[in-house]
Amino acid sequence: MPKIIKDVEKNIRNCAAELFISLSYINVDMRMISKESGVAVGTLYNYYENKKQLYLSILKESWENTFNKLDAVNKLNISSEEKLKRFINTLYEDIEARNGLGKVLINTSIDELKDDKEIIDLKNSLLLRVEDLFKYIDKVERVSKCSKINTRLAQSLLASMLIMLEFHPNDKEDNIDFLVEFISLAIK
């Protein structure tokens, strides 16, 4: 009698996400996901055409949740300083919680994913949200007139966040305070 697994797709996604986080995209294959999830390889392919499709599905869902949170922060009617702090805190915590899953949006080093349209769209959505934050901050008037500066500032924030997480993983509050100060100084 075949083994019955409840919520097969959810189980596959959860197990795959754990493997992608702990081993990285490159070091995971469909057989590993099959073994970890307890789902036959053939069944796995009924849900996802390949590893890339599964990875992108997990990544997209994860970032969509972050985008919703960032959009909520951008809509708050609070001081620009508080909005900046909440935005950076939200983004930092979500990137930290992914534990490396999704770095591909900021540092595209995997050839198979580098030119993928979904990755590019997610990356652009992330950058637009960060740039929107800068537009809402009163002090940014001279910066928001130049989209190239906004884009580079957004990229700098994201890269700095990854560096803080890598080199100072146990200093969350100090990292967030540094990033807020970094952006505050950059937009003055």
Confidence at residue 1, expressed as pLDDT on a 0 to 100 scale = 40
Query: Is the domain of 111 the same as that of 134?
Result: yes
Confidence at residue 140, expressed as pLDDT on a 0 to 100 scale = 45
Give CA–CA dist 100/27, Å, rounded.
14
Residue 82 belongs to a domain with what CATH number?
A: 1.10.357.10
Confidence at residue 141, expressed as pLDDT on a 0 to 100 scale = 46
Query: Is the domain of 20 the same as that of 42?
Result: yes
Tokens encoding 183:
């952006």
Task: State which residues form the domain around 57.
Answer: 53-187
Confidence at residue 124, expressed as pLDDT on a 0 to 100 scale = 87
User: What is the tally of structural domains in the chain?
Assistant: 2
> Please, how many CA atoms are within 13 Å of residue 37, restricted to the half-sphere of its CB?
29
Confidence at residue 51, expressed as pLDDT on a 0 to 100 scale = 93
Residue 35 belongs to a domain with what CATH number?
A: 1.10.10.60
Residue 48 has what DSSP assignment?
-
Query: Is the domain of 43 the same as that of 64?
Result: no
Low-confidence ranges of the chain (pLDDT < 70): 1-6, 107-111, 138-147, 188
- Residue 125 CB-density burial (10 A; 0-12 exposed, 13-18 middle, 19+ buried): middle
Query: Is the domain of 57 the same as that of 139?
Result: yes
